[in-house]
Structure 1
Amino acid sequence: MDRNMVGWFEIPVEDMERARKFYEEVFDISISVNDLGGIIMGWFPGAQDKSGSPGSLVKHEMYVPSDTAGPLLYFSCKDLAIELARVTPAGGSIIQQKKEIGGGHGFMALIKDTEGNRVALHSLS
């Protein structure tokens, strides 16, 4: 295969400013917010020549945040303990603390963002 299977992801939000602030604080990034004809999107920074997938926060009536339904998105981190320590101060909550996956696959943790979405963190250390 000459590409990654996931080409784009979208995270539903109810309050774009609150969600933007949460993800910027947890990952120490800047998110660009754009209005695309009534669909409000907060684009995560991306690099086309790197591994992984670009994505966006999305505010629209068709998008409903959930901490139990739908796919689970994993954010890659150098050491997820760094981002995990920022979750609660940024207004989110920790669902599952850092734990080893096993078999040399690294570590993961589950968090809930300020919009009520369940997302995961992953790192090799």
Structure 2
Amino acid sequence: MNTSNVATWFEIPAVDLARAVRFYETVFAIRLIQEPCPSGMTMAVFPADGEAVRGCLIQHEAYKPGADGTVVYLNGGDDLSAPLARAEEAGARIVVPKTLITPEIGYFAQFIDSEGNRVGLYSMR
């Protein structure tokens, strides 16, 4: 187990999984992998290499999207401005624009996704 990461898995709730998949595939210019799940859940997994933190979009009656509570920060790449702009074009509402934390730590931004979740982006530039 890679103990250098506190986070190991994340789940972003979706009311409409197909809509959420389109949104995140557009924002990150990637393809999510839909996987079967037990208990009537449906999920689409974000691609990840090696021991990277993995996660998914998940749809189930027990999962409710929301803008209050825990915020997951996703990798904004070399400069989070690009995925943030694509998020806005895909219908996201920007709630925190690209903001410098410190020069040593980098930048963050937050948006409300297609499902109503508050999601963050992080990058060094």
Instruction: Say whether the fold is shared (TM-score over 0.5).
Output: yes
Asked if 1:55 corresponds to 2:70, the answer is: no
Give 3-state SS (helix, strand or coil) of 1:25's partner: helix
CA distance in structure 2 between the aligned counterparts of 1:67 and 1:61, rounded to whole angstroms? 17
Q: Deviations over 1:50-92 (max 9, x none)?
A: xx410010000110101112x1111122100010110121121
CA distance in structure 2 between the aligned counterparts of 1:39 and 1:46, rounded to whole angstroms? 21
User: Alpha-carbon deviation of 1:105?
Assistant: 0.8
- 1:88-99 matches, within 5 Å, as 88-99=88-99
User: Alpha-carbon deviation of 1:35?
Assistant: 2.9
Q: Structure 2 length as normaliser, TM-score?
A: 0.91
Q: Structure 1 length as normaliser, TM-score?
A: 0.91
Superposed structure 1 runs of 4+ greater than 6 Å apart: none
CA distance in structure 1 between the aligned counterparts of 2:101 and 2:6, rounded to whole angstroms? 22
Amino acid at match of 2:80: L
Give the RMSD, CA atoms, in angstroms: 1.5
Residue segments in structure 1 that go unaligned for 5+ positions in a row: none
CA distance in structure 1 between the aligned counterparts of 2:2 and 2:84, rounded to whole angstroms? 33
Q: Which residue of 1 aligns with 2:29?
A: 28
Residue segments in structure 2 that go unaligned for 5+ positions in a row: none
